[in-house]
Amino acid sequence: MSGVPDLGPVPQRIAVDAEQVRRLVAEQFPRLAGLAVEPVADGGWDNWTFRLGPDRLVRLPSAAEYAQAVDKEHRWLPVLASRLPLPVPTPLARGGPGAGYPFPWSIYQWLDGEPARVERIADPVRFALDLAEFLAALRGIEAAGGPQPGLHNWFRGGTLRTYEQEVRRALATLDGRVDTGPARDIWASALDARWDGVDRWFHGDVAAGNLLLDGGQLAAVIDFGTCGVGDPACDLAVAWTLLSADGRQAFRKRLPVDEAMWARGRGWALWKTLATCASSVDDPERADEFVSARRILGEIVSGGA
């Protein structure tokens, strides 16, 4: 489709192990040599994540496309961190290729917490309000000069039409297996909902794994690899993918958002959920993932407000 950016092929990820990380650290940061290196469970897809000693972590992009975010994070995270109400990752050092690893990489301050899960959240409405406060503060930071949507963040903050063909393929795959009629209507409404054109900061991947809890309360927000400036509607997808119905209402009221932005946010949630449903529908090894995605699809269809 004319005017829609090309996302290119699926990134080819490379593997990284703890011994390779030890060599990288020893070669480039000798004063840190000897610190324990342990892989972080569920450390993400775009990066391999390892704990380095008691208070640091190492993040290594898993593909060349993801490596584009390294310089962005080092440039902008210190600027954003001082203006946000919750801790975010603090870059301590930037590494380069070595020890058989081909990309730039980073050392960050370790942030304590466990990834958000519905059953771990102590108060769903309080959690939703705290998250809304964080996103409101992020949107309020001066956007001039910030990174525009591009391959560095898979065009988060840009038009949903970037993903139109993927959504159409997913809907075709799911026809007869789920009720795709309401999803088609929601997607059409999202595409028609106009953005005011005012650039605002967004995180780009406000998802359970990037929201850390301490004692059931929101304690930190991590992984800014998809951040940028543009349309922040992509950050609203979490309203359907993680928040309760009451939390979703409180979240919407606190930000606040107009009808058009809410519709686009619902479209972002729908795109990701349909893609997950379609890719896991016939895979017995991903049956749990399909069930979860189908449940979220039900939230998106029924939970407009």
In this structure, the answer to whether residues 81 and 148 fall within a common structural domain is no
Q: Is 8 part of a structural domain of the chain?
A: no
Tell me the backbone φ, ψ of residue 166, rounded to 5 degrees: -65, -40
Angle at 89 between CA 34 and CA 103, to 5 degrees: 65
Contact 24, 102 (CB under 8 A): no
pLDDT score at 3: 63
pLDDT digits (tens, 9 = 90+) for 209-250: 999 999 999 999 999 999 999 999 999 999 999 999 999 999
In this structure, the answer to whether residues 58 and 183 fall within a common structural domain is no
Q: pTM of the entire structure?
A: 0.95
11 lies in some domain: no
Give the chain's length: 305
pLDDT of residue 2: 47
Q: Copy the structure tokens of residue 41.
A: 């469970």
- Give a yes or no: residue 139 inside a domain: yes
What is the Cα–Cα distance from 207 to 244, expressed in whole angstroms?
14
Residue ranges of the alpha helices (H) in 3-98?
A: 18-28, 64-67, 69-81
Q: Is 105 domain-assigned?
A: yes
Give me 244's structure tokens: 């309760």
CATH code at 97? 3.30.200.20
Residues 29-56, mean pLDDT to the nearest whole number: 95
Alpha-carbon distance values, 229 to 138, 149, 279 (Å): 10, 7, 30
What angle (nearest 5°) sits at the alpha carbon of residue 151, between those of residues 148 and 157? 40
Tokens standing for 167?
């959504």
Rounded average pLDDT over 281-302: 96
| Domain interval for residue 72 | 18-110
> Average per-residue pLDDT in the chain?
96
**CA 176 – CA 184 distance, rounded (Å):** 14
Give me the CATH number covering residue 173: 3.90.1200.10
| 266 and 289 in a common domain | yes
CB 24 within 8 A of CB 37: no
Chain segment 164-177, per-residue pLDDT in tens:
999 999 999 999 99
Whole-angstrom distance, CA of residue 243 vs CA of residue 117: 10
Q: Of the residues 70, 88, 110, which one is the last residue of a structural domain?
A: 110
Whether residues 170 and 279 share a domain: the answer is yes
Cβ count within 10 A of residue 235: 29
CA distances from 193 to 25, 161, 210, 265, 300 (A): 48, 11, 27, 10, 16
Q: Which of 88, 110, 132 is the last residue of a domain?
A: 110
**Residue 148 and residue 43 in one domain:** no
pLDDT at 4 over 90: no
87 and 126 both lie in a single domain = no
Are residues 280 and 136 part of one domain? yes
The domain boundary, picked from 86, 110, 134, lies at 110
Domain count, the chain: 2
* Together in a domain, 102 and 136: no
One domain for residues 125 and 22: no
Residue 7 domain-assigned (yes or no):
no
pLDDT at residue 163 greater than cutoff 90: yes
Look at residue 2 and tell me if it is in a domain: no
